[in-house]
């Protein structure tokens, strides 16, 4: 089912359903077979499901309590780190190949691509071991049992504190990041906060008016832009730390990367400013009214179905 609360289910039921679905997505992507290695798509699916689960937990932080929140988010974080080597190698190669303006005639360009390809091959062979698979499977199965015990309560009051906090943190981090020349650390933090906000808006998106849906889509696009910017930066950093790459080839690639990053940062600054301006009038009153009206219709439908 969708990563979204449904009109005809109680909020606690929705929380447990969504948590279990994301955990199951991780387990399916990682697989149980000792011989099968998860490919790039499977690793991406698993990591995305873990991020969505963490966003759900952040949304409910006040309701589930700090001890539960810290335990479950740490579980998701640790599982994601076990998949990071495989994901990082795939992304570096994909980003390099996307730089269509890299001068292939420059000596060393082919060498760089071969190095990145070898990273992918090495990650396929040893980046995801059976020990890691077992650890993720065990952690996720235990988490699924715990998720079934969550009782977050009912009503807009359950969601409002988490959404308000996410909105404020996103605005604050965006302003800090783009008030001056963006820095690697602030861009990374801003990206994480925007991703959290998008996933949380997606959770309640069934109740949204067309105006609120536009904000949700802006958050999605902004998160994608900031993710691309970070992947470009990580590729450049990775190449600079390698031995044996001719300086001309390294300079050519890093120059292209910097150019792409600059364009992305400008796009992100413009989009983020529009999103925050739109959110200032939409949250929390408009969002709360939409949610309550939508849920009231769902309660009526559930009552009729129960007769």
Rounded CA separation 65/81 (Å): 24
Provide CB contacts within 8 A for 297, sequence distance 6+: 7
Provide CB contacts within 8 A for 69, sequence distance 6+: 57, 58, 60, 61
- Using one digit for the tens of pLDDT, what is the confidence trace for 162-203? 999 999 999 999 999 998 888 888 999 999 999 999 999 999
1-83+128-152 architecture in CATH?
A: Up-down Bundle (1.20)
- Using one digit for the tens of pLDDT, what is the confidence trace for 16-54? 999 999 999 999 988 855 556 677 788 889 999 999 999
Rounded CA separation 297/286 (Å): 17
- Using one digit for the tens of pLDDT, what is the confidence trace for 128-163? 778 888 999 999 999 999 999 999 989 999 999 999
Residue 36 DSSP class? P
Q: Which residue has the higher pLDDT, 252 or 86?
A: 252
User: In Å, how far are 32, 50, 148 from 76, measured between CA atoms?
Assistant: 18, 6, 16
Contact 164, 284 (CB under 8 A): yes
Provide CB contacts within 8 A for 164, sequence distance 6+: 283, 284
Overall CATH class of domain 155-307? mainly alpha
Helix (H) or strand (E) holding 301: helix 285-306
Domain ranges of the chain: 1-83+128-152, 155-307
Report, as an integer, the average pLDDT of 204-215: 88
Q: What percent of the chain has pLDDT over 90?
A: 59
- Tell whether the model's pLDDT for residue 11 goes beyond 90: yes
- Tell whether the model's pLDDT for residue 303 goes beyond 60: no
């Amino acid at each position: 089912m969708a990563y979204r609360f449904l009109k005809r289910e109680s909020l606690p039921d929705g929380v447990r359903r969504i948590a279990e679905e994301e955990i199951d997505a991780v387990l399916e992507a990682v697989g149980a077979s000792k011989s099968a290695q998860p490919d790039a798509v499977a690793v991406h699916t698993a990591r995305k499901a873990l991020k969505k689960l963490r966003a759900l937990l952040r949304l409910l932080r006040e309701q589930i309590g700090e001890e539960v929140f810290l335990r479950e988010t740490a579980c998701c974080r640790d599982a994601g780190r076990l998949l990071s080597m495989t994901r990082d190698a795939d992304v570096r190669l994909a980003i390099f190949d996307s730089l269509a303006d890299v001068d292939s005639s420059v000596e060393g360009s082919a060498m760089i691509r071969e190095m990145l390809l070898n990273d992918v091959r090495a990650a396929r062979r040893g980046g995801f071991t059976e020990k890691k698979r077992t650890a993720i499977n065990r952690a996720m199965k235990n988490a699924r049992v715990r998720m079934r015990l969550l009782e977050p309560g009912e009503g807009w009051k359950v969601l409002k504190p988490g959404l308000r906090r996410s909105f404020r943190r996103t605005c604050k981090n965006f302003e800090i990041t783009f008030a001056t020349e963006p820095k690697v650390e602030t861009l990374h933090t801003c990206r994480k906060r925007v991703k959290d906000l998008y996933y949380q808006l997606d959770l309640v998106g069934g109740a949204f008016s067309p105006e609120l849906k536009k904000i949700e889509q802006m958050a999605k696009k902004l998160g994608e832009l900031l993710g691309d910017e970070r992947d470009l930066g990580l590729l450049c950093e990775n190449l600079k730390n390698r031995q044996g790459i001719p300086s001309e080839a390294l300079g050519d690639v890093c120059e292209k990367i910097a150019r792409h990053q600059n364009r992305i940062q400008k796009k992100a600054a413009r989009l983020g400013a529009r999103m925050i301006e739109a959110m200032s009038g939409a949250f929390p009153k408009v969002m709360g009214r939409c949610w309550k009206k939508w849920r009231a219709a769902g309660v009526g439908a559930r009552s009729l179905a129960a007769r």
